[in-house]
């Protein structure tokens, strides 16, 4: 029995990783040259998958460290994660990693916890001052020098640094990183406005310090080929027209497209040939509690009306739309759209999640 090739809840990798050749090449080149890089896009476009897949392709010559800022809950936790990740990735034996941490960071009083999967995490007892933190954050560079190698450290959902210890941490991190010629940093995040603010505002420490890469949706051609061949490989039929219909409905959104394919594949596997893509999508949208929840969290009437207009593909700035949807004035529309962009519902003037768009459209039909 084949597994569903459209698993959309896990990061994509290996045979299930689609395209991103150009981005992968840039990341590989940056890893080798030491050029730091920032990747941004709305959530669920594939940033984390891209980072992990490029880590796999970098192979063993360039050890990689992945820090998910969604899980970092304090400054000293960040230090622990950077050190643990580096020790685990650079050394093939944990004994060696542990002894290196002990040698280098003894004053920070490290302790070690083994995990069931064989990895060991490091906890530093003494990250009290900026000097301590600096020491810990230099660990990747020190290891890279020792072993005469390069290292890549990814900091995913990096805009959350604002919540940790805003300005001071940002300044410290920037100055530490600047001195690290053997470590390449990848910063990425889904809160596009916040991330751009960090890297594109002249008053901020990270201003123009990285190469900025905006990640778009997956290109249609390889996406289509992946969908066709995945059905074919698992012995199921799918005609080209249906693939086009799927991609049109989901607007090629990486995760949502796979989600719809996932359901279709299950149907076909169960021998159900006649169910239409539209009906499937309808069921998916009806059962997706996240959509209703998102809507319920929007308290402003103007925001709701603007979304309704956008869901119907009206031009929100046009005079007739403003009249018809009661959007007040052009400057109201501008302000409303800005705040919807800030909370990630809109991106470049459009509703990010195609399912949300269809859900809103349906309730106002």
Segment interacting with ligand ADP (CB under 6 A) among 15-23, 141-149, 203-211, 237-245 = 15-23
Binding of residue 250 to Mg ion (CB under 5 A): no
Structure tokens at 154: 């990814």
**Quick one: 51 or 337, whose CB is closer to Mg ion?**
51
Q: Which of residues 48-77 bind ligand ADP (CB under 6 A)?
A: 48-49
> Measured between alpha carbons, how far is 103 from 105 in angstroms, rounded to an integer?
6
At residue 305's C-alpha, the angle toward residues 302 and 311, to 5°, is 140
From the CB of 259, what's the least distance to ligand ADP, in Å? 8
* 216 φψ region: left (φ > 0), alpha (ψ -120 to 50), beta (else): beta
Helices (H) and strands (E) in the chain, counts: 17, 9
Structure tokens at 259: 């989600």
Q: Which does 38 bind (CB under 5 to 8 A by kind): ligand ADP, Mg ion, none?
A: none
Q: How far is the CB of 19 from ligand ADP (least distance, A)?
A: 6
When the beta carbons of 133 and 285 are compared against ligand ADP, the nearer one is 285
Q: Which of the listed partners (Mg ion, ligand ADP, none) does 17 bind, with a CB threshold of 5 to 8 Å by partner kind?
A: ligand ADP
Q: Quick check: 120 binds ligand ADP (CB under 6 A)?
A: no
To Mg ion, the closest distance from the beta carbon of 43 in angstroms equals 7
Query: What are phi and psi for residue 278, nearest 5 degrees?
Result: -60, -45
The values of phi and psi at residue 260, to 5°, are -65, -40
Residues 47-66 that bind Mg ion (CB under 5 A): 48
- Residues 203-242: x where in contact with ligand ADP by CB under 6 A, - otherwise, as a string: ---------------x------------------------
- Binding segment for ligand ADP (CB under 6 A), chosen from 45-53, 116-124, 228-236, 301-309, is 45-53
By a kind-dependent CB cut-off of 5 to 8 A, residue 256 interacts, out of ligand ADP, Mg ion, none, with none
Task: Output the smallest distance, CB 156 to Mg ion, in A.
Answer: 6
43 contacts ligand ADP (rule: CB under 6 A)? yes
| Residue 8 binds to ligand ADP (criterion: CB under 6 A) | yes
CA distance 263 to 253: 16
Start-to-end C-alpha separation, the chain: 42
d(CA 156, CA 67): 6
Cα→Cα distances 279→24, 105, 253, 282, 289, Å? 36, 59, 19, 5, 18
Q: Least Å distance between CB 53 and Mg ion?
A: 12
5 contributes a contact to ligand ADP by CB under 6 A:
no
- The smaller minimum CB distance to ligand ADP, of residues 34 and 219, is found at 219
For Mg ion (CB under 5 A), the number of binding residues is: 1
Helix (H, G, I), strand (E, B) or coil at 204: coil
Site for ligand ADP (CB under 6 A): which residue of 38, 41, 180, 230? Answer: 41
Residue-by-residue DSSP string for 93-122: SHHHHHHHHHHHHGGG-EEEEE-TTS-EEE
Residue 110 interaction partner, one of Mg ion, ligand ADP, none, beta carbon < 5-8 Å per kind: none
How many other C-beta atoms lie within 10 A of the C-beta of residue 330?
13
Q: Which of 184, 209, 215 is nearest to 28 (CA)?
A: 184
SS3 222: helix
Q: Measure the CA–CA gap between 42 and 347, rounded to whole angstroms.
A: 7
Phi, psi of 200 (to 5 degrees): -120, 0
CB 55 to Mg ion: min, Å: 14
In the complex, least distance from residue 16 CB atom to ligand ADP, rounded to whole angstroms: 6
Of residues 247-266, those binding ligand ADP (CB under 6 A): 254-255, 258
In the complex with Mg ion, the residue whose CB is nearer, 48 or 257, is 48
Chain residues binding Mg ion by CB under 5 A are 48
Chain residues binding ligand ADP by CB under 6 A are 8-12, 16-20, 41, 43-49, 190, 218, 254-255, 258
């Amino acid at each position: 029995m084949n597994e569903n090739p459209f698993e959309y809840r896990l990061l994509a990798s290996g045979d299930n990783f689609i395209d991103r050749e150009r981005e992968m090449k840039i990341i590989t080149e940056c890893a080798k040259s030491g050029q730091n890089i920032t990747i941004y896009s709305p959530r669920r476009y594939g940033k984390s998958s891209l980072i992990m897949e490029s880590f796999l392709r970098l192979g063993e010559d360039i050890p990689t460290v992945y820090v998910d800022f969604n899980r970092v809950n304090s400054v000293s936790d960040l230090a622990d994660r950077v050190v643990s990740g580096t020790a685990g990735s650079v050394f093939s034996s944990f004994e060696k990693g542990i002894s290196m941490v002990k040698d280098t960071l003894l004053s920070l009083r490290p302790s070690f916890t083994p995990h069931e999967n064989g990895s060991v995490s490091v906890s530093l007892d003494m990250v009290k001052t900026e000097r301590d933190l600096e020491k810990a954050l230099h660990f990747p560079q020190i290891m890279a020098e020792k072993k005469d190698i390069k290292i890549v450290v990814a900091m995913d959902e990096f805009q959350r640094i604002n919540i940790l210890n805003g300005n001071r941490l940002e300044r410290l991190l920037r100055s530490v990183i600047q001195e690290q010629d053997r470590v390449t940093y990848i910063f990425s995040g889904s809160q596009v406005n916040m991330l751009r603010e960090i890297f594109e505002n002249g008053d901020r420490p990270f201003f123009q310090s990285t190469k900025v890469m905006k990640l778009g949706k997956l290109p249609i051609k390889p996406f289509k080929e992946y969908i066709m061949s995945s059905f074919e490989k698992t012995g199921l039929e799918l005609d080209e027209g249906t693939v086009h219909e799927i991609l049109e409905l989901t607007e090629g959104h990486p995760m949502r497209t796979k989600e719809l394919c996932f359901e279709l594949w299950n149907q076909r596997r169960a021998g159900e040939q006649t169910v239409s893509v539209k009906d499937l999508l309808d069921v998916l949208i009806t059962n997706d509690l996240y959509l209703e929840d998102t809507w319920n969290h929007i308290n402003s009437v103007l925001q709701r009306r603007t979304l309704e207009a956008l869901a119907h593909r009206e031009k929100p700035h046009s005079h007739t739309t403003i009249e018809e949807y009661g959007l007040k004035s052009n400057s109201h529309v501008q302000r409303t759209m800005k705040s919807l962009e800030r909370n990630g519902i809109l991106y470049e003037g459009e509703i990010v999640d195609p399912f949300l768009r269809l859900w809103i459209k349906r309730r106002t039909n």
